[in-house]
Structure 1
Amino acid sequence: MAHLLGAEGLHLEFPTRIVFDSVTLGIEEGDRIGIVGRNGDGKSSLLAMLAGRLEPDTGRVTVRGGTTIGVLDQADVLDDALTVGGAIVGDTPEHEWAGDPKVRDVIDGLVSDLDWNASVADLSGGQRRRVSLAKLLVGDWDIVALDEPTNHLDVEAIGWLAEHLKRRWSANQGALMVVTHDRWFLDEVCTETWEVHDRIVEPFEGGYAAYILQRVERDRMSAATEAKRQNLARKELAWLRRGAPARTSKPKFRIDAANELISDVPEIRDRIGLQSLAVSRLGKDVVDLIDAGVTFPASASTPEREVLRDVEWRIAPGERTGILGVNGAGKSTLLGLVAGTLAPTSGRVKHGKTVQVRTLTQRLDELQDVWDEPVRIVIGRLRTTYTFGTGSKAAELTPGQLLERLGFSSAQLSTPVKDLSGGQQRRLQLLLVLLDQPNVMILDEPTNDMDTDMLAAIEDLLDSWPGTLLVVSHDRYFLERVTDQQYAILDRRLRHLPGGVDEYLRLRALEQTHQKAPAAGSASASASTSAQAAEPALSGADRRTAEKELTALERRMQKLAEQIDRAKHALADHDQSDYAGLGEKMKEISAREAEVEELELRWFELTEQLG
């Protein structure tokens, strides 16, 4: 493989600290490098130095003659005076860019839903991010450097970007450097991982899962490694091996070694214990949405708009659910119904008498009243202890100990809230929500401004939180890690996803094939190349047989749903000290839920065939 870029003896120093000390690296044709590390350790600075955007204090970066580097910064640098089309293709004549398959693919994948002639100034943050990505990706680059490319992108756009980068070059051509906290994206795209820590850059083979294995091995062999960090990594490796078969079926690391390392690691959550404790705290009724719908009335500038219709959702004690949907699908509206901050315009919403709902918002609302106060003063007004876990694993933690688990140093306790980093503010916000002791918690995009290590720490904390958890997140790894099931809002209705995020993406692809693509300046620019055609519908005797099976499936699923609902409500009346009896009842519920999932998969296949 040909050499593209080299860095020798890089030293970078800011007024208060040394960021890098004598770092030497190289990038070859075919490299796909993910860059990870704690916030503030220098990931973006490293990328900027290698891309020629930042000069090191000493050392040098050399680039092979003729090598081109395309860079996506975290900052929004789009010119508000431009149109969407002008920002992406500039003054290039339409017949040129429209005739280029790569350009059409980028436009279809990222901005096909945008008005080609719309002003950049009128776009949302997520739309501007997609335009910036499209502007970069339509160009020809030997090296593409991306700094947090998944920020503000939804699950679909992240999936498209991963596929594009995998097929952008042949195996031994081009190079990719990406700084991201999105662990699914790292595992999907990267073949090498660089960890930035302690003024150095340490390389690992493979994507995120392989990196976690090697880091656990490194930590086990190093007597100086902090035990807590090692245990968190081993716990995450256990989830990667046990809970994500589709991901770990790839031969990215030695399976035998991984199994040996996690042989004594228990399941990440004590589901039976948490379910029992949730029932005792909540009773049998949490929140029931019964034929609920929301329609916003017409105004002077907008017509009447139906957001949700016929939503049937009975939320159970201890339920952990992820909510998916495109921007504007109605996720916030749905969560508003659950939280009680929004009333339905049709149907009804019933809240249990003991339900206490708290929401971790994207707006840092919980911090506004303490913005100028030091962290020490803020936590000093809170409860003195907080119980995490169940049974023999239950632990009493002080707010200070919780802060430590969330990555705060003792020195930062004296820092005013307004002077904390974005990630630190987000973690303090989560702590304030937890210490308020809700029994239903809603997390709205909780991973913003978090590095991979801190995300693992938060996931570990949530594993022992005994309540009902609802999560909206574009971070696929986090969503799959902390929830046990997923739902999606599709065509204004709430739909269960037995197949998880993969099923959601399949449904969205099918949905898009049945919709006429909007014009994006020209017919060629709006033609989709990524959606797959639906299977042909059945006819004749095969169709009648399938319809009979579909009807039988729906009757069986309805019956099972009623049995599961009755069984969960019965848990509230069961002796809470009878752990063996509770365990047997939970096994029965789990068996019925597994049968429902199998039936739903068959139902999904039949509905596709029937058209």
Structure 2
Amino acid sequence: MANLITLDGVSLVFGTTHVLDDVSIGVLTGDRIGIVGVNGGGKSTLLRVMARLQEPDEGRIAKQGGEGGIRVGMLAQDDALDPAWTVREAVLGDRPEHVWAGDPRIRDVLTGLLGGIEGQGVGGLDTLVGPKSGGERRRLALARLLVDDPELLLLDEPTNHLDVEGVAWLADHLTHHRPRPDNATVAITHDRWFLDAYATLTWEVEGGHVSAFEGGYAAYVLAKAERDRLAGVVADRRANLMRKELAWLRRGAPARTSKPKFRIEAANALISDEPAPRNAVELTAFATKRLGKDVIDLEDVTVVLGEPPEQRTILDRVTWRLAPGERVGLVGVNGAGKSTLLRALTGEQPLTAGRRKVGKTVHIAHLTQEVRELDRFTDWRVIEAIEDVRQWTTLGGKEISASQLATRLGFPGGRQQARVRDLSGGERRRLQLTRLLLGEPNVLILDEPTNDLDIETLTSLEDVLDGWAGTLVVVSHDRYLLERVCDHEFALLGDGKLRDLPGGVEEYLRVRHAATSRTDGMPPSQLSGIPSPDAPAGAPSPAEQREARKAMARIEKQLARLSEREERLHADMAEKATDPTALADLTARLQDVVAERDQLEAEWLEAAELVG
């Protein structure tokens, strides 16, 4: 491995803030680095310094081959695409068609980001860039960079505007299609699933310094917790959040274990007394008391938008009944109607047919993707806008003040005195969430709640939702958040139907992959005749589904027993730590347990797919 770029003693000061303080770090060939840290902590600045778009105040930057050496490409937060370009010019430049069409890597980019060679996802290769939406332009800028394939690829929040499927594709492309012996990738990201799937190293930018950790997000959490433990750090709120995060990473449900993960058995001593992230039985019981039996029912609902000939059926005779304490994640391709379904639940979207039934005690709070509702508080201080709703609330069975809730969601004491007009996009999002939760709703509907939030704030939000009793519906492209706060997922596949996903997001990606494989290469004129994946040929019979449910129940019991065996083995290993012979035997037995668990988890996923 060789150094592609090296930062030596780099410092940069903005005003009185040391954004980078004597940073010495380098990128080697083969590295896939994820950069994390709080908003405003210097992550984008670090990337701009590496790209030589920002000169440091002190220090040296050395690039392999000097100024005429390796090519460096950067995806910034704002694109620099010429509105007069066609999609073809923006992404493929002047490459002849036989060159790019014959390159599997470029075809993979076109399929993953543009919807194929015909550019169906962005309206065709010969359409203009100018009229595209911000999200479409962002995808075009990313596609252009991946097609150019520089030796050092720098990406600032590449998962923005990508759905769950797009994030999975990008992780796969950067991990399996881009790597060569002479290149490396560095990406700023708040998407923890992407970080786990993609990164071989994680850099944390904090207080002007850059700390490096081996592996992705799970490894980063483990290493930070272990570092704090060895340093004798007192268990404050942040340390407790990290312990809780570790406990969840280790105890994830079987449907979550097929994602790339880092084995964290070494952290057992750190989290042995940590309870499950939330007590589902207790929360459901409390939610039932607050809500009664009826929450929100959509019965045989149809929603049609637009006028002929561009009329679209978003929901087609959908029936969905939300239960007290239910925690549901909603996924689907962009434009499938997720936000429309949320508005149908809240009553904001008129129904073309069917009916909506709401329980008498239901109090709904809806977090939309807009932040304009804060415009009337422009001149208010943050704490005033928060206490305007309520000064005290109950969370996790405890009464807390509005200020305490604000602190948990990223507004420490001093920041609570800031004017709303001076808040960043992420802070405005946090203020929205704080106001919603203080309203003490018993049905919480969140549309892309992770927009503009850093990892530390996301972890705090998940901790708050763990103690919140009520019915929760979340639309998000953040796969980690969905798996962390929701108990099961549903999907909108673009055919107007709502599909249950017992196998979670992994099942959704398999369904989408199957549908894409069947339609790959077909002209758009033929796509409308393709049957829905909800009714595939050779669907399992009711008897086969019953057997699959029995198998799932049996496997879950076996997994519970294996977990107990694993804990006993770890306890024995701790006792025999000074006995090499006994330790070797226990290690071999532990490896057998882990292998058996992996096999059972695979069988569970197969059975879940049959249940559908």
Equivalence for 2:14: 14
Deviation of 1:406 after TM superposition, in Å, equals: 1.3
Contact 1:10 1:58 in 2 (8 A): yes
Equivalence for 1:582: none
Deviation of 1:384 after TM superposition, in Å, equals: 2.2
Q: Distance in 2 between matches of 1:252 and 1:277?
A: 34
Deviation of 1:252 after TM superposition, in Å, equals: 6.5
**Structure 1 pair 601–93 and aligned structure 2 pair: CA distance change class (3 A):** closer
Q: Distance in 1 between matches of 2:86 and 2:259?
A: 42
Count of aligned pairs between the two proteins? 539
Equivalence for 1:35: 35
Equivalence for 1:452: 455
Deviation of 1:365 after TM superposition, in Å, equals: 3.9
Q: Calculate the aligned-residue CA RMSD, in Å.
A: 2.5
Aligned residue for 1:122, secondary structure, equals coil
Equivalence for 1:53: 53
Q: Percent identity?
A: 51
Equivalence for 2:574: none
* 1:103 equivalenced with 2:111 (yes/no): no
**Structure 1 pair 254–92 and aligned structure 2 pair: CA distance change class (3 A):** closer
Equivalent in 140, 155, 163 of residue 146 of structure 1 = 155
Contact 2:442 2:470 in 1 (8 A): yes
* 1:347 equivalenced with 2:350 (yes/no): no
Equivalence for 1:371: 378
Contact 2:10 2:59 in 1 (8 A): yes
**Structure 1 pair 171–135 and aligned structure 2 pair: CA distance change class (3 A):** closer
Equivalence for 2:241: 232
Aligned residue for 1:120, secondary structure, equals coil
Q: Distance in 1 between matches of 2:231 and 2:39?
A: 23
Equivalent in 313, 325, 336 of residue 329 of structure 1 = 336
Equivalence for 2:470: 467
Relative to structure 2, which stretch is displaced further, 2-11 or 368-377?
Answer: 368-377
* 1:602 equivalenced with 2:610 (yes/no): yes
Deviation of 1:340 after TM superposition, in Å, equals: 0.9
* 1:513-524 alignment, distance < 5 Å: 513-515=517-519, 517=521
Contact 2:197 2:259 in 1 (8 A): no
Extract unaligned runs of 5+ from structure 1.
521-525, 527-533, 559-595, 605-611
Deviation of 1:351 after TM superposition, in Å, equals: 0.9
Equivalence for 1:270: 279
Q: Distance in 1 between matches of 2:296 and 2:496?
A: 20
**Structure 1 pair 190–5 and aligned structure 2 pair: CA distance change class (3 A):** same
Aligned residue for 1:138, secondary structure, equals helix
Q: Distance in 2 between matches of 1:598 and 1:92?
A: 44
Deviation of 1:304 after TM superposition, in Å, equals: 2.5
Contact 1:129 1:153 in 2 (8 A): no
* 1:89 equivalenced with 2:92 (yes/no): yes
Deviation of 1:204 after TM superposition, in Å, equals: 0.7
Q: Distance in 2 between matches of 1:244 and 1:213?
A: 19
Aligned residue for 2:148, secondary structure, equals coil
Extract unaligned runs of 5+ from structure 2.
528-532, 550-603
Amino acid across the alignment from 2:487: D
**Structure 1 pair 238–557 and aligned structure 2 pair: CA distance change class (3 A):** closer
Deviation of 1:598 after TM superposition, in Å, equals: 8.6
Deviation of 1:376 after TM superposition, in Å, equals: 2.6
Deviation of 1:428 after TM superposition, in Å, equals: 0.7
Contact 2:364 2:441 in 1 (8 A): yes
Deviation of 1:221 after TM superposition, in Å, equals: 2.4
Q: Distance in 2 between matches of 1:247 and 1:178?
A: 24
Amino acid across the alignment from 2:212: P
Equivalence for 2:317: 310
* 1:212 equivalenced with 2:221 (yes/no): yes
Deviation of 1:253 after TM superposition, in Å, equals: 5.0
Q: Distance in 2 between matches of 1:489 and 1:557?
A: 24
Q: TM-score, normalised by structure 1?
A: 0.84
Relative to structure 2, which stretch is displaced further, 14-23 or 499-508?
Answer: 14-23
Residues 176-216 of structure 1: CA deviation (Å, up to 9, x unaligned): 11100000000000011111112211111111100000100
Relative to structure 2, which stretch is displaced further, 19-28 or 218-227?
Answer: 218-227
Deviation of 1:255 after TM superposition, in Å, equals: 3.4
Residues 202-250 of structure 1: CA deviation (Å, up to 9, x unaligned): 1111111000001001122234567111111111111111116677679
Equivalence for 2:505: 501
Deviation of 1:372 after TM superposition, in Å, equals: 2.1
Contact 1:290 1:313 in 2 (8 A): yes
* 1:285 equivalenced with 2:285 (yes/no): no
Contact 1:241 1:248 in 2 (8 A): no
Q: Distance in 2 between matches of 1:111 and 1:75?
A: 19
Residues 536-576 of structure 1: CA deviation (Å, up to 9, x unaligned): x98xxxx7xxx8x6144579999xxxxxxxxxxxxxxxxxx
Equivalent in 107, 127, 146 of residue 118 of structure 1 = 127
Aligned residue for 2:492, secondary structure, equals strand
Q: Distance in 2 between matches of 1:275 and 1:208?
A: 30
Q: Distance in 2 between matches of 1:482 and 1:166?
A: 27
**Structure 1 pair 248–61 and aligned structure 2 pair: CA distance change class (3 A):** farther
RCO higher in 1 or 2 (8 Å CA, sep ≥ 6)? 1
**Structure 1 pair 62–207 and aligned structure 2 pair: CA distance change class (3 A):** same
Residues 434-455 of structure 1: CA deviation (Å, up to 9, x unaligned): 1111111111111111111111
